[in-house]
């Protein structure tokens, strides 16, 4: 199975993009680098978790660190596109290892408020202090000498953002590969109409913009893929090509009613609303997750 791919820069203002696929969660982690300066950003890193044993590990995050070291990179940023529902974020672990600042979209505070109530965390701070930077729509930064900007892309979650770094856009869970479709919009705070608007903003980017997705579910047992272009999405994505807003909303809502929740959503959100921090150990030295029962009303069963 393909678990690594390198998309090369073809111009001075474009990044190299290394993608690392995690088969356990079907997630893709990225190292985005400026070939001229050897500086990089890490996007959507995965902290390993086995729900059957309760074990945590840093295998995938350490793979990223090994690549950074082998390439002689300096990590400038550790970026999450949104609070993930299907894997734990390794942002905090990687910050401890590299010293690089962490960042996410500013509306993560709305997600924190929502899940604070679900988990009944009366003392949980919901001001986003768990990250070093909260990005707003239109904010800019750099990866090395390459310009980067932030697009607010809600609909899948309240806080989802897209990072546009040179000619590469990291579209998280708004759009999947052209042979699969688009993201669900039925998580707490999700909305199909809002998702449509976010996707249209992404598709308004130049047609040769490289789009990098947050997951791949390998339809028809093909090899994992995570790169496409705006042009390919417009032409071939079954949820977008030939669809108007009403068609998309109807399709998305019908499809979402049939989808079971991700198996780790109640595990992951209590880690990822903390910026990837595990719960503090209790008096016996062990850490515990808190699973609310019957909190996601109406969710389909497997």
CATH of the domain at 166: 3.60.15.10
Query: What is the per-residue pLDDT across 136-173, written as a single tens digit (0 to 9) for each?
Result: 999 999 999 999 999 999 999 999 999 999 999 999 99
Query: What is the per-residue pLDDT across 282-298, written as a single tens digit (0 to 9) for each?
Result: 999 999 999 999 999 88
Has residue 292 been placed in a domain?
no
Strand 161-165 with 168-172, pairing: antiparallel
Phi, psi of 63 (to 5 degrees): -60, -40
Q: What is the pLDDT of residue 208?
A: 98
Has residue 285 been placed in a domain?
no
User: CB–CB of 5/19 below 8 Å?
Assistant: yes
Q: Please choose, from the candidates 29, 83, 43, the residue with its C-alpha nearest in 3D space to the C-alpha of residue 272.
A: 83
Q: What is the pLDDT of residue 302?
A: 83
Compute the average pLDDT of residues 93-104.
98
Rounded Cα distance, 40 and 146, in Å: 10
Has residue 290 been placed in a domain?
no
Q: What is the pLDDT of residue 297?
A: 86
Compute the average pLDDT of residues 73-81.
98
Number of helical (H) and strand (E) elements in the chain, helices listed first? 7, 16
- The count of structural domains within the chain is 1
Phi, psi of 138 (to 5 degrees): 90, -10
Phi, psi of 59 (to 5 degrees): -55, -50
Query: What is the per-residue pLDDT across 29-39, written as a single tens digit (0 to 9) for each?
Result: 999 999 999 99
Has residue 291 been placed in a domain?
no
Query: What is the per-residue pLDDT across 180-223, written as a single tens digit (0 to 9) for each?
Result: 999 999 999 999 999 999 999 999 999 999 999 999 999 999 99
User: CB–CB of 83/111 below 8 Å?
Assistant: yes
Has residue 210 been placed in a domain?
yes
Count of CB atoms within 10 A of residue 152's CB?
18
| Mean pLDDT over each residue of the chain, to the nearest integer | 97
Has residue 278 been placed in a domain?
no
Rounded Cα distance, 121 and 117, in Å: 7
Has residue 208 been placed in a domain?
yes
User: CB–CB of 45/65 below 8 Å?
Assistant: no
Query: What is the per-residue pLDDT across 4-54, written as a single tens digit (0 to 9) for each?
Result: 999 999 999 999 999 999 999 999 999 999 999 999 999 999 999 999 999
Which residues 6+ apart lie within 8 Å of 246 measured at CB?
A: none
Query: What is the per-residue pLDDT across 221-252, written as a single tens digit (0 to 9) for each?
Result: 999 999 999 999 999 999 999 999 999 999 99
**Domain range holding 28?**
4-270
Phi, psi of 145 (to 5 degrees): -100, 5
Rounded Cα distance, 146 and 33, in Å: 9
Which residues 6+ apart lie within 8 Å of 122 measured at CB?
A: 116
Q: What is the pLDDT of residue 234?
A: 97
Reported as a pLDDT band with limits 50, 70 and 90, residue 299 is confident
Has residue 296 been placed in a domain?
no
Rounded Cα distance, 203 and 265, in Å: 28
């Amino acid at each position: 199975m393909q678990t690594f791919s390198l998309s090369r820069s073809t111009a001075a203002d474009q990044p190299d993009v290394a993608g690392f696929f995690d088969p356990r969660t079907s997630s893709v982690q990225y190292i985005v680098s400026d070939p001229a300066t050897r500086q990089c950003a890490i996007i959507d890193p995965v902290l390993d978790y086995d729900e059957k044993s309760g074990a945590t590990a840093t295998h995938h995050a350490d793979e990223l660190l090994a690549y950074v070291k082998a390439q002689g990179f300096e990590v400038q940023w550790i970026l999450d596109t949104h609070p993930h529902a299907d894997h734990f974020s390794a942002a905090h672990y990687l910050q401890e290892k590299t010293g690089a600042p962490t960042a996410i979209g500013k509306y993560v505070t709305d997600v924190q408020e929502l899940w604070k109530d679900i988990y009944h965390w009366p003392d949980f701070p919901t001001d986003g202090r768990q990250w070093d930077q909260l990005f707003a729509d239109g904010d800019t930064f750099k990866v090395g000498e390459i310009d980067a900007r932030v697009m607010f892309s809600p609909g899948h979650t309240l806080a989802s953002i897209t990072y546009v770094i040179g000619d590469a856009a990291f579209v998280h869970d708004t759009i999947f590969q052209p042979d699969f479709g688009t993201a669900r919009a039925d998580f707490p705070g999700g909305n199909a109409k809002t998702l449509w608007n976010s996707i249209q903003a992404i598709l308004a980017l130049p047609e040769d913009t490289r789009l990098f997705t947050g997951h791949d579910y390998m339809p028809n047992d093909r090899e994992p893929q995570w790169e496409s272009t705006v042009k390919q999405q417009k032409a071939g994505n079954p949820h977008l090509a030939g669809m108007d807003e009403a068609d998309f909303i109807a399709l998305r809502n019908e499809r979402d009613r049939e989808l079971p929740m991700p198996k780790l959503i109640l595990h992951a959100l209590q880690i990822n609303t903390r910026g990837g921090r595990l719960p503090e150990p209790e008096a016996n030295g062990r850490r515990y997750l808190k699973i609310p029962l019957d909190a996601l009303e109406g969710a389909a069963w497997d």
